[in-house]
Amino acid sequence: MKKIIAVFSILMAFLGGAHAAGAAFPLDKAPNRTNDLAALQNGAKLFVNYCISCHSAAFMRYNRLGDIGLTDKQIKENLLFTSEKVGDLMKASIDPKQAKDWFGANPPDLTLVARSRATHSGTGADYLYTYLRTYYRDETKATGWNNMAFPSVGMPNVFWELQGERKPVFETVTSHGHEMQVLKGWEQTKAGKLTQAEFDNQMADLVGFMQWMAEPVQNTRVRIGVWVLIFLTIFTVIAWRLNAAYWKDVK
């Protein structure tokens, strides 16, 4: 009995710690753009221009982008920059050993990150949308950057030219007798090429693409599921009426 209580206590402590970690920073709701071909195409362009130099998407082939309306010619002319072929996997060009030396670890594959990052706090898309938009300058870090959604992140802000530089503004609030720092807003210290609204829109497109990439058939699955439910509903009504007709003379 004591062993069971001990195991239960450890489990509850673990779950409580996980909850606290997941709730450290609230996630913003990501717009759902998996049905918007223009947004997905723009997201693919952003992914290739800013992400794939370090992060692979090794479970996705370039020619699969035909599902979002791109032809092989468009893929070759706009998304392939070196010796890759349209049928190749979307692998990063960075050397893993150099990446480990520069960032402390080899950058993870991003094919499924929009699904693997889902928690009780929000979907994986919500996490990515928040993460990409909450970088700020921190000179105490080796890269010069930090992130509200991922404290002490090893990855620098690759979108800083678009977003500019910001710093978080905190306010002190009292909760249950304890003072704590809560994010009040952001102060723009250096302007970027885009306004904040424009930048948020670009990140929404990128997250939409990563969400689609994690499960390219998700929209087809949903459409088929709707038709299956409609069929089952109609069939249930027919079966109910047939059953009533077959047994109407049985007393």
Q: What is the pTM of this model?
A: 0.80
Q: What pairing do the DSSP bridges indicate for beta strands 89-90 and 57-61?
A: antiparallel
- Above 50 in pLDDT, residue 125? yes
| All domains of the chain in start order, with CATH | 26-159+192-244 (1.10.760.10)
pLDDT of residue 251: 64
pLDDT tens sequence across 194-249 = 999 999 999 999 999 999 999 999 888 989 999 999 999 999 999 999 998 888 88
pLDDT tens sequence across 21-51 = 334 688 999 999 999 999 999 999 999 999 9
pLDDT tens sequence across 140-175 = 998 899 999 999 998 999 999 999 999 999 888 887
pLDDT of residue 180: 80
pLDDT tens sequence across 43-73 = 999 999 999 988 999 999 999 999 999 999 9
- Above 50 in pLDDT, residue 6? no
Q: Could you give the CA distance from residue 19 to residue 89 in angstroms, rounded to a whole number?
A: 36
pLDDT band at 106 (very low <50, low <70, confident <90, very high): confident
- Above 50 in pLDDT, residue 20? no
